[in-house]
Chain A
Amino acid sequence: MEGNTDAEPRKAGGSKIIVFFIVGLLLGAGLGAGIMMALGDDDNGGQATEKIVVVATISGNPESLDPAVDYETVGGEVIQNVYETLMFYDGDSAATLVPMLCTEVPTVANGLVTDNGLTYTYHLREGVKFHDGTDMTSEDVFYSFARALRLNDPNGPAWMVGELLIPDYYDYSRGKYLSDGNLNATSGVPMDVIYDHIWMKDAYTVQFNLTVAFPGWNYVITFGVGSIVSKDYVEANGGMTQDGYNYMFSHMCGTGAFSLESYYPDTHFILARHDGYWREPAKLSKVIIRQIPDANTRLLLLKSGEADVASIPRTLRSSVISDSNIEVTEGKPTFNIDFIGLNQKINFNSTAAPNTNVPANFFADKNVRLAFAHAMNASKLIATQFYGAGIQPNGAIPKGMFGYNASVPTYTYDLALVKSYLENASTPGNTSNYLAEGFNIDIFYNTGNTVRQTACEMFRDGLQAANPDKIHVTITGVEWATYLALRKAGSMPVLFLGWAPDYADPNNYMQPFFHSAGTYASMCGFGNDTLDAMIEQAAGELNPETRTTLYYELSMYLYGECLHIWTVQATNFHCERVSLDGYTFNPMYSGLYYYPMDK
């Protein structure tokens, strides 16, 4: 026996105490806890009778839960379910809006869009209650928009409303707080300017006076920044002071089908059904959004039934597709697109691009751009890097959005065309062409981004095949920070970028990509008056049919110009338990919309 003084040395060592300790620990932790859990079955808070949906999502905390400030998808999903906008998307359609907090979607035809598209009038729904029990009126609508513009967070979404509603919007700074915590009246967009452009015509009518006609306005205010917050609630918790601003980071009071019951950073959100909802209350009593960083853990939670929905990467597709308890929805186009910008004003320096011998305006030649476009094997990129879950876009407007036209062609992978375009591209001084003379160029990707690395390799393979002896593409992986520094300096000949929409209007793609004042046009060093005029004309056209034609013409013009190369429009991949009903995919949703769901 252990502990016996007559025992062999190998059998001594106080084992009894240690075994007792371990057994005690494990029993205490395991069995003890199990027994206590078992004893607690009578105190389940009624969960057995409740419909609770558990969502196992990837890790990430919201930047804020304030719709005036938040500009990302984690907070966006919660905002979308707790707050409501004047209109919302009709089921799976990103093009059709239905009235929510207003009674009718303004159009020219129904007389609510007037003054050549500059005035939008919204009749508000009566009897809508906020989660704090107060009624929603035009004061709340005015307050919600005015608050976003007064705060005017440059990293937030206020610009969407501001640039259309406020004259010289970009001259206004962000809202700044004084030492006493009050908002500085001279910062942000001033109240008198806001009063000029948002009118409370009566308790249930609001009018927006735009500075420029823009038929996408309804879509703009359907984004989270158009969420209507309870004025009484915000004012009761600090209002426009610094304290109020901080409070709204983690507290919410909307009119949505769910209210925010609790939020634990890194852990979960709990949304509870709003029984005073203006429509029939949601069928789900609670939605629990859990942050589970590990994909395999999320998979096990879904397969076991502990989670009803889970974010599963496509790499684990075979594990869910074979499970009869799991339903997979996939292949529907999102509005997220990846593209490659060709820098027409490369700011080279020997350190950044030691092997390059092309001039700074190399990509100003359309033939060079087209040669690069036809050297890119987008189908292979989608097959190898996106597991086939993507579509090669035919331009800036993604499939599914207003203005998309399937007859616009895509750039095909074609070595004969690569040669042909390079042959037509003259070297400086028109002495020769780039096919005969060849060229050396450095292309960068950020280390770890295999999509961009593969795209670089495709450029290299496609271009070098045109003239293996004289065309040399050097691919260099750099750290993300270095990549950003190179991009900031304008040193990269080729830029890999991605875009997710803010609102479902083609101008949200055309303007930043191609207008000379747009982010990516300036980043790629080009500006074109003709193009600017076409973009502005299409953006402001009120007749939908004419507008469709204008966007088709614009898309065809851009196809010929080849200013950017469109590589992939991602498609969705959604996994849920078969017991869950009501899931709808809409590319404009921030995550999931829980109101129609049931289990």
Chain B
Amino acid sequence: MRLSKYIVKRILLLIPVLIGVSIIIFALSRMTGEPAAAYITDKMTPAQIQQVYEKYHFDEPVVNQYWYWLTGILEGDWGFSKIAGVPVNEAILVRLPVTMELTLLSMAIGIPIGITLGTKTALRKDKTFDHVVRVISLVGVSIPVFWLALILQYVFYYKLDILPAAGLYDIVRWSFTPIPDITGFLIIDSLLVGNFRLFGDHILHMVMPAVTLSFGTIAVLIRIQRNSMLEVLNLDYIKTARAKGLPEKTVINKHARRNALIPTTTVVGLSFGGSLGGAVLTESIFALPGLGRWSASSITHFDTTSILGFVLFIALVYSLVNLAVDIMYAYLDPRVKLE
């Protein structure tokens, strides 16, 4: 099957997947709580509470509520985010660039380190280096993000004063200069307007959050890549390559590591999707105005409309990332057919 045909087919398959997801998340949102809770305060009179129910159709059957929500989604009206104070789709679009930047930076740190250490531990199996890295990766998987973030802040911000603690940039410094907003990605926008100092300041602010977020990815990738490499290194074609007298560098880099990367690719894809939706603590601790922080706020304030929009968006992103991973699979392993 041709690649373009395959992509179209997969995108069409997304429709039933997303409808299924929408039904599940909507049903869950109505089973786990009262959606009106976000709009009701202690001071409201019974009449005002009733008005809330009528305004948002919370007094109608769940099927009707789902229909209102779904038709709204299809018409581009994802509802109003009480937490953000703007429509849900606008809230997502405004916050997506920050989360994307954070995710991409954390991946840029996590992927090379994870794959390199995973490969090296496999090549040094049962040696001291292997044991040390495996312990570190175990710690990396287990360590709570909030604790790691606080330690990093304490050491690199408070004690050493070499990295900023929070925010996208130094607000005091840039309070005299307009902040560009062209694409929403500050890394790109600062370069587009030629403001290299803002670019540098922004990168500095993203270092600690990106390192924090990458820690889990690094730990997982080390373990996956190590196991995968060990498996590949024991296969006959590697022995054949060595017997043929190929340089070890060629054997490892060209024959072993490339094949060992196939299962790792899946994990990278899932980590990417997970980071997009799961940077809740990182964004909160480092005060980054991204999707994770918004979703966490929505959950704690029972803002069901925002939660529904967020989950649906993340489901869509996950599906697209999976599609990208499948296409990459075909590139990495010619035996895989696009069927």
Q: Chain A interface (Cβ within 8 Å of chain B)?
A: 3-5, 7-15, 18-19, 21-22, 25, 28-30, 32-37, 39-40, 43-47, 52, 54, 59, 61-64, 154-155, 249, 261, 264-268, 270, 286, 288, 290-294, 296-297, 300-301, 303-304, 306, 479-482, 484-485, 488, 497-499, 512, 519, 522-523
Contacts and interface: CB of A to CB of B under 8 A. Distances in A.
Nearest to B168: A267
B252 interface: yes
Interface string B279-307: 00000111101000110010000100000
A13 B119 contact: yes
Interface stretch (B7-15, B30-38, B63-71, B132-140): B30-38
Interface residues of B, number: 79
A12 B293 contact: no
Which 4 A-B pairs rank lowest in CB-CB distance, beginning with the nearest?
A: A45-B176, A36-B200, A481-B34, A40-B197
Interface string B72-114: 0000000000011110000000110000000001001100110
19 contacts: A9-B123, A10-B124, A29-B203, A37-B200, A39-B197, A44-B173, A54-B172, A61-B83, A265-B85, A265-B94, A266-B95, A288-B171, A290-B287, A293-B287, A293-B297, A296-B150, A297-B165, A304-B165, A522-B45
B168 to A, nearest CB: 7
Contacts of A62: 85
A5 B251 CA distance: 10
Contacts of B168: 267
Contacts of B197: 36-37, 39-40, 43
Contacts of B257: 13-14
Contacts of A59: 284, 293, 297
B43 interface: yes
A9 B157 contact: no
Contacts of B115: 18
Interface stretch (B19-27, B46-54, B270-278, B324-332): B46-54
Contacts of B179: 264
A61 B200 contact: no
A300 B95 contact: no
Nearest to A497: B42
B231 interface: no
Contacts of A291: 287
B264 interface: no
Given A12-B248, A33-B202, 9 more contacts: A12-B249, A19-B116, A21-B112, A25-B108, A294-B284, A297-B286, A482-B33, A519-B44, A519-B45
A411 B213 CA distance: 52
A25 B257 CA distance: 22
A40 B116 CA distance: 36
Contacts of A3: 249
B336 interface: no
B45 A64 contact: no
A22 B154 contact: no
Contacts of A498: 42
B20 to A, nearest CB: 25
B76 to A, nearest CB: 18
A33 B206 CA distance: 11
B248 A45 contact: no
Given A5-B248, A9-B252, A304-B158, A288 B112 contact: no
B40 interface: yes
Contact of B253 (A12, A270, A290): A12
A482 B113 CA distance: 47
A311 to B, nearest CB: 13
B172 A22 contact: no
A300 B252 contact: no
A301 B165 contact: yes
A47 B123 contact: no
Contact of A268 (B94, B162, B171, B196): B171
Nearest to B289: A266
Nearest to A288: B171
Nearest to B120: A13
B247 interface: yes
B234 interface: no
A35 B162 CA distance: 12
B176 A46 contact: yes
A41 B207 CA distance: 21
Given A13-B119, A30-B207, A286 B154 contact: no
Contact of A485 (B34, B42, B171, B202): B34
A45 B119 CA distance: 49
Contact of A300 (B85, B86, B154, B251): B154
A35 B33 contact: no
Given A12-B248, A13-B257, A293-B287, A35 B116 contact: no
Contacts of A12: 123, 248-249, 251-253
Nearest to B290: A266
B244 interface: no
Contacts of A249: 85
A15 B120 CA distance: 9
Nearest to B116: A18
Given A61-B85, A300-B158, A30 B204 contact: yes
B201 interface: yes
B167 A36 contact: no
A34 to B, nearest CB: 7
B323 interface: no
Given A267-B168, A290-B287, A301-B165, A481 B302 contact: yes
Contacts of B109: 22, 25
Interface string B51-65: 100000000000000
A155 B47 CA distance: 12
B142 interface: no
A16 B287 CA distance: 36
A498 B43 CA distance: 9
Nearest to A63: B85
B119 to A, nearest CB: 5
